[in-house]
Structure 1
Amino acid sequence: MAEVGGGMRLAVTEIERLLNYTFRDPSLLEEALTHSSYAGHRSYERLEFVGDAVLGLAITSFFYLSDPTLEPRFLTELRIANASTEKLARVAVRHRLYRFLRRICRDLDQLVSKFTDLAMMEPEEDIVQMTYGGTTLEAPKVLADIVESIAAAVYFDCDSDLQLFWTVFRGILEPIITPEMMMEHPVMALYKLCQKHRKIVDISSSFDGSSNTVKVVVDGEVMGIGFSKQKNLARLHAARDALQRLSALQAADREEGDAGAEAEVGAKQKLNELCNKKHWMNPTYRIEQEQGPDHCKTFICSVQVKTEDKIFVISGDSKPKVRVAENSAAFKMLTEVLGDAIIPSCT
């Protein structure tokens, strides 16, 4: 049952003080603080169901309005982080909400007590990591249920006014996990990396009755797999696995790219030498495309070569400098258009 000396009237008063809000219908809060084990009274299960949805919508709306640049997948991750069982359970621990719950379940009391002891030892600065399971013990769902049930009680008492609800309820959810905090997390880092390189990432999950399996698929290929009883932890492990594999692939691509760049160095000079040797006009270059902001521009250049009876034109790859882009075009002219057979000096 609720903490000795408590009582439902005291519980309502304490939570109203915590929220700085007075309920018009205190029975909503009484229902929110009643566990199914407390016979003869309506439990919080219906309110908890609504509260889960309300918190998800309120959190998503908050970030949607705060930052118009956030993409849907980032909004999803922020909602998951701020409304996860692990995060809400720690809200309940921080504000000692379990003591107000009407229940008759000793096993539940012991489980909550054990988790509370572990959670109280967690450093506050690790809030993002805690969101995905910071202790060796999975957060008891009942703790998150209490927060969600109280959220629904506030929402209905506010006549379903989402803005007023957020004004009242946001305070107890602090600290809110922000995009800046999330960017350091493997799941967000994975999204950011794939967005940068224009890759399509998909994260899917399955549950076999005892463990969650999460797969990260990038451009149609499985890049990471994670397993855990906690879905969020499985996502974390899968994201880390994918980041490691993608990093290894990028390193290999860089080595290959470095080899190609080395081959392109001096291509303009070699093309000029060839044209002089063949008595052709000197090659002419032009910028075909210029993209990106001033601090991070890329260029694509083309080169034209006139022989005795033909005109050849080809564009190179996108490069960060005009000179390098011209070398890329010259290298392609030498190797793909004119051919190695007539350019012994380029081998």
Structure 2
Amino acid sequence: MQFIQSTDKSLFLHNHHQNRVPLTHRIMMESPESCVILTNPINKSIALIPDDDYIITDMAASIRAVEEILDYNFKNKKLLEQALTHSSCTDSPSYQRLEFVGDAALGLAISNFVYLTYPELDPGQLSLLRSANVSTEKLARVAVKHSLYKFVRHNTTTLDEKVKEFVIAVEQEEEAEVHGGVMKAPKVLADIVESVVAAVYVDMHFDLKLLWKKINRLLEPIITLDLLAQQPQPVTMLYELCQKDGKHVDIKHWRKEEKDIASVYVDGQFVVSATSENKENAKLHAAKSAITKLACNHTSKLDLEVEPNTEFGGAKQKLNELCGRKKWPAPTYRIEKQVGPSHDRRFICSVQVAVAKGVVFVMGDEKTRVKDAENSAASAMIWGLQGSNLS
């Protein structure tokens, strides 16, 4: 196998068994004995499985590809090469030392960001935001989003299988999961992000401000207080909700064949079970289901009396923040009514919040956009809660 230059100055991969294939900025370096994936930015990935005579051991293309993803040119490219080398490649320095530095650098960079972004938050909430942004789940999804794993050199096929399963699971999610999806994130994906971040940090002579300017785009979307309020940590939330009512929660685990099962009991009474291939994920899903079921079984719906003309901007975010502070589930919105022809459609939305005394329900005013109708409902909910003894 060899690289040849074409007349239009693009690189091609050429061998006697394949037609010429354009070589773009992404090359998957799995292992010296494995296959090579060439990703065309327009078409789908093309997998070439060469025989033993067709092996690519040069990492220069992978380094160029990751530099393009980062929008950063390394002064010392050996740092990035090390960041892209798994410990299974025993003949080269691996990313383990860089991972150690990256873990600390990311933690401090995110700490600075949330401290400056949320000047009113207490240390406990700041810690929750930092943890959510540097968790294995979050960083693994960063690696998937930017296809960083494709450029890592390694000598173990089991990593490929785990990563492939996780990528498929992430693609099938209806919305991004903050605390964990169907499948537990492989730690190797988070390790890669930490090591690549560390390579940039060391190459910048440990300048944390410059590092944040370069990597904040890589980490997007940053998990904000608003998003965290919409997806609070399910297990913690379940315990806190039950503790308010003086109830005892017990989550029991067992394994059936290849599945982990988690069952939630409240005051000794079975509530719900969930299964997963991983114990922690089963626990998360069981807690989520238990919160929903307990909220539905709570006391009857409570209507609030709200004065007219109480609407204000940013009400949805403020309501999310209120629910987060009170440890309530995230508000749920619903279109209650649609009026008018399609070219002049107007909407009325409702919002409900599960509080200690029951589920609070409020309807907003008629609006031309669903977004505005939801904001109207959120405004009414905030005013109603402030004027009652429920908050």
TM-score by length of structure 1 reads 0.57
In the alignment, which residue of structure 2 is the partner of 1:174?
A: 220
Contact 1:47–1:152 (CA under 8 A) maintained in structure 2:
yes
Change (3 A) 1:212 1:62: farther
Distance 1:212 1:51 in 2: 34
In the alignment, which residue of structure 1 is the partner of 2:69?
A: 18
Number of residue pairs matched? 255
Distance 1:34 1:182 in 2: 34
The offset of 1:102, in angstroms, is: 0.9
Matched residue type, 1:48 = E
Contact 1:186–1:240 (CA under 8 A) maintained in structure 2:
no
Change (3 A) 1:121 1:156: same
- The answer as to 2:230 corresponding to 1:184 is yes
In the alignment, which residue of structure 2 is the partner of 1:343?
A: none
In the alignment, which residue of structure 1 is the partner of 2:96?
A: 45
Change (3 A) 1:8 1:235: same
Distance 1:45 1:160 in 2: 18
Matched residue type, 2:164 = S
Q: Deviations over 1:188-220 (max 9, x none)?
A: 8977x979x999xxx9x9x99x9899x9xxxxx
In the alignment, which residue of structure 2 is the partner of 1:159?
A: 205
Who wins on radius of gyration, i.e. which is larger?
1
Contact 1:51–1:150 (CA under 8 A) maintained in structure 2:
yes
Among candidates 126, 137, 142, match of residue 91 of structure 1: 142
In the alignment, which residue of structure 2 is the partner of 1:307?
A: none
Other structure's SS at 2:230 match: coil
Change (3 A) 1:83 1:237: farther
Matched residue type, 1:28 = L
Contact 1:34–1:102 (CA under 8 A) maintained in structure 2:
yes
Change (3 A) 1:234 1:68: farther
Distance 2:280 2:108 in 1: 21
Distance 1:241 1:115 in 2: 25
Structure 2 gaps of 5+ residues are 1-30, 37-54, 265-272, 301-356, 358-382
Change (3 A) 1:54 1:48: same
Distance 1:139 1:189 in 2: 18
Change (3 A) 1:190 1:134: closer
Distance 1:25 1:187 in 2: 40
Other structure's SS at 2:233 match: helix
Distance 1:319 1:80 in 2: 30
Distance 2:127 2:299 in 1: 27
Other structure's SS at 1:156 match: helix
Q: Which runs of 4+ in 1 moved over 6 A?
A: 188-191, 210-213, 225-228, 242-251
Matched residue type, 2:93 = R
- The answer as to 2:116 corresponding to 1:70 is no
Change (3 A) 1:231 1:19: same
User: Aligned-residue CA RMSD in angstroms?
Assistant: 4.7
Contact 2:181–2:281 (CA under 8 A) maintained in structure 1:
no
TM-score by length of structure 2 reads 0.51
- The answer as to 2:185 corresponding to 1:134 is no
Change (3 A) 1:296 1:59: same
Other structure's SS at 1:186 match: coil
Distance 1:37 1:29 in 2: 17
Structural mapping, 1:271-310, within 5 Å: 296=386
Distance 2:137 2:285 in 1: 13
Other structure's SS at 2:180 match: coil
Contact 1:89–1:141 (CA under 8 A) maintained in structure 2:
yes
Change (3 A) 1:166 1:240: farther
Structural mapping, 1:1-347, within 5 Å: 1=31, 3=36, 7-123=58-174, 126-127=175-176, 129=177, 131-135=178-182, 137-187=183-233, 229=278, 231=280, 234=283, 237-238=286-287, 241=290, 296=386
Q: Deviations over 1:155-175 (max 9, x none)?
A: 111222212111111111111
Other structure's SS at 1:183 match: helix
Higher helix share: 1
Distance 1:83 1:231 in 2: 18
Higher strand share: 2
Distance 1:319 1:154 in 2: 50
Distance 1:158 1:146 in 2: 18
Matched residue type, 2:143 = A
Matched residue type, 2:58 = G
Distance 1:73 1:20 in 2: 34
The offset of 1:59, in angstroms, is: 1.4
Change (3 A) 1:186 1:67: closer
Name the % identity.
Answer: 39
Change (3 A) 1:179 1:232: farther
In the alignment, which residue of structure 1 is the partner of 2:346?
A: none
Change (3 A) 1:28 1:150: same
Other structure's SS at 1:145 match: helix
